[in-house]
Amino acid sequence: MTNASRERVTLVQAEPAPSDPCALPAHELAAGIAQGTITAREAVEAHIARIERVNGALNAVVAKRYDDARAEANVIDQRRARGEALPPLAGVPMTVKECLDLAGTVSTFGIPSRAAARATRDDPYVARLRAAGAIVVAKTNVAQLLIFTETDNPLYGRTNNPWNVERSSGGSSGGEGAIVAAGGAALGLGTDIGGSVRIPAAFCGIASLRPTAGRCPDLGRGSVPFGQQAVASQVGPIARSVDDLALALTAINGGHGLDHQAVVPLGDHRDIDVKGLRVAVLADDGVMTPSPAIQRGLRAAADMLKAAGAQIVPCALPPCAEAMRIWLACITADRGAGMRATSRGGKLDARAALMLRLSGMPPALRMMVARLLTAIGQKGLGGNMRLFADGTAAGYWRAVEDQAAYRAAFASVLDGVAGGPVDLVLMPAYGVPAVRHGASANMPVAGSYSLLAPVLGYPAGIVPVTRVAAGEDLGRGKSSDLVQKTASEADIGSAGLPVAVQLMGRPWRDDVVLAAMRAIEQAARTRPDYPATPKV
């Protein structure tokens, strides 16, 4: 079977039966359990069965917790039988990204040498979801060290996209994206420092949210050192509906309770009137021109917001390439020393190893190689190499100052638009559809779209809109530049894959982002090209 014919087969749709618990969004499942139309045990058993059916093809779930999940479901059913009030997510089966601690399970970050150490207590955000009644049935695969945009590592292997197993599910929360999209979990919980909950959602055709920086700060110590706080990882939900994201965010909201920092209260997205919201559109970041299908999806999403009463306003944003530079300068400020220490004694994935080699290369040598690559026609690779930090404290301080200046410039532009401030920026989720496996070695990210929100500290969410149509999957033309060639390879044969858009809001207005996402979702679901449940 050829690659093209295999893609046509794997993209056939299979809608779950309405009575299937795995087809229900989390909020409807929770309501059904509370009302007694379905038991928590039935919901858990259905999701376990779905995981067992699809995980052989996906390799998304890496740690199963079935017996404990069944016992917890029985307790919820007993509580309901006694007439007790149930918490808002009671009985909802969910999965958790492997890097987040769950008592009794490992958090390896894909590093084999960490496989023996088991957590003695839950991560605070996992604990909050469990306190809200959610039942963790499994943990899911990650990109090693959470540092590249595909989910693969020497310990657990590669996770495949449920729409096409020859494509990536994204990273680093790719296991979450794949299993939630395939119906194996009603909710997922991941982390995001540069797109790690947003890229998997875009690739797999579901929704996700990176909260405002500081709302749900990640406590993880197995990736970028926690001391690097300029661009801070956030814990965020993944789901098949925007209302489910809001429900999960309500449960985890409030910081981690250790830094004593006040967190702005979370508003209810259902109270936000989309009519009158002012939306700027970032159609091309100047780094990676989006694929034709993504450009079409962006136009469609803008039209959906306009139909809901929002105003699309012209706005010339600061150069997005600057955000890309700041992001990498902060992430690699220690030249990878922290990640090398974490991974010591364990086998490295080739992409993680490449990242660490480039981070640790003497700056003068790296610039020499960058100039050489540019001279031989590899402008994309050469440009990327120039973005790494020099490894000095002074260099990091400069990056932090540049970040502050960029944030001020961005806010000034949004505030200064004629007619009033801009509430939201609509942009691509990623420059291309789900990439082929291995693409991140040459194309770590397809543009700056996933890096803007972390640098700015703004909330940003992903919502699916359409699928790549026939004729939109022909590639970008011949190029010797490996970055452009990799992008073209992602486009070729991508017909049928999901297309999502990204909405970025102002700080602490996660509710506004969710409201606009919900308006797009409601309109997109009525279209025949909306990404429904993939057949795995």
Least-confidence region, from 82-86, 320-324, 371-375: 371-375
3-state SS track over 148-201: CCCCCCCCCCCCEECCEEEEECCCCCHHHHHHHHCCCCCEEEEEECCCCCHHHH
| Of 148, 183, 33, residue with least CA distance to 533 | 183
Gap between the Cα atoms of 495 and 288, Å rounded: 20
Q: Tell me phi and psi for residue 210, to 5 degrees.
A: -95, 115
Q: How many residues does the chain have?
A: 536
* pTM, entire model: 0.95
Per-residue pLDDT at 117:
87
Q: Is 55 helix (H, G, I), strand (E, B) or coil?
A: helix
Per-residue pLDDT at 221:
82
The answer to whether residue 196 is catalytic is yes
CA atoms within 13 A on the CB side of 536: 27
Q: Report CA-CA distances (Å) from 159 to 60, 429, 435, 487.
A: 5, 20, 13, 20
SS3 content of the chain, % helix, strand, coil (to 5): 40, 15, 45
Checking if the pLDDT of 153 tops 60, the result is: yes
Output 477 or 172, whichever has higher pLDDT. 172
Q: Are 181 and 203 contacting, i.e. CB atoms less than 8 angstroms apart?
A: no
Q: What is the mean pLDDT of the chain?
A: 94
Per-residue pLDDT at 13:
38
Q: How confident is the model at residue 19 (pLDDT cuts 50, 70, 90)?
A: confident
pLDDT digits (tens, 9 = 90+) for 28-43: 999 999 999 999 999 9
Q: How confident is the model at residue 346 (pLDDT cuts 50, 70, 90)?
A: confident
pLDDT digits (tens, 9 = 90+) for 47-96: 999 999 999 999 999 999 999 999 999 999 999 999 999 999 999 999 99
Q: How many CB atoms lie within 10 A of CB 189?
A: 32
Q: Which of 107, 168, 196, 343 is catalytic?
A: 196
Checking if the pLDDT of 511 tops 80, the result is: yes
| DSSP one-letter string for 436-485 | BTTGGGT-SSSSSTTTHHHHHT--EEEEEEEEPPTTS-S-S---S-HHHH
Long-range CB contacts (within 8 A, 24+) of 395-401: 395/329, 395/333, 396/230, 396/329, 396/330, 396/333, 398/329, 399/230, 399/326, 399/329, 399/330, 399/333, 400/230, 400/330
69: which 2 tokens? 């999940």
Output 257 or 52, whichever has higher pLDDT. 52
Q: Is 445 helix (H, G, I), strand (E, B) or coil?
A: coil
β-strands 61-64, 135-140 pairing = antiparallel
H-assigned helices in 272-392: 292-307, 320-331, 337-343, 350-360, 363-375, 379-385
| DSSP one-letter string for 381-429 | HHHHHTTS--S-HHHHHHHHHHHHHHHHHHHHHHHTSTTS---EEEEES
Gap between the Cα atoms of 308 and 305, Å rounded: 5
Checking if the pLDDT of 484 tops 80, the result is: yes
Q: How confident is the model at residue 262 (pLDDT cuts 50, 70, 90)?
A: low
Per-residue pLDDT at 5:
33
The answer to whether residue 113 is catalytic is no
Q: Which of 107, 169, 172, 173 is catalytic?
A: 172
Q: How confident is the model at residue 260 (pLDDT cuts 50, 70, 90)?
A: low
Q: Which amino acid is at 509?
A: R
Q: Which residues are 286's β-sheet partners?
A: none
81: which 2 tokens? 């039988």
Domains and CATH numbers, the chain: 10-258 (3.90.1300.10), 267-334+389-530 (3.90.1300.10), 335-388 (no CATH)
Q: Which residue has the tokens 């207005």?
A: 509
Per-residue pLDDT at 532:
87
Checking if the pLDDT of 25 tops 80, the result is: yes
Gap between the Cα atoms of 426 and 453, Å rounded: 12
β-strands 424-428, 278-281 pairing = parallel
Checking if the pLDDT of 259 tops 70, the result is: no
| Of 398, 368, 401, residue with least CA distance to 386 | 368
25: which 2 tokens? 């969004």
206: which 2 tokens? 């579901």
| Cβ-Cβ contacts under 8 Å for 326 (sequence gap 6 or more) | 231, 399, 402, 403, 406, 455
| Of 534, 442, 524, 452, residue with least CA distance to 489 | 442
Q: Report CA-CA distances (Å) from 131 to 100, 184, 254, 440.
A: 16, 21, 14, 37
Gap between the Cα atoms of 100 and 343, Å rounded: 17
Q: Is 510 helix (H, G, I), strand (E, B) or coil?
A: helix
β-strands 135-140, 164-168 pairing = unpaired
Name the DSSP letter for residue 269.
Answer: G
Per-residue pLDDT at 256:
62
Per-residue pLDDT at 1:
35
β-strands 164-168, 160-161 pairing = antiparallel
Per-residue pLDDT at 257:
58
Instruction: Give the chain's radius of gyration (CA, Å).
Output: 22
Checking if the pLDDT of 535 tops 90, the result is: no
β-strands 460-467, 207-210 pairing = antiparallel
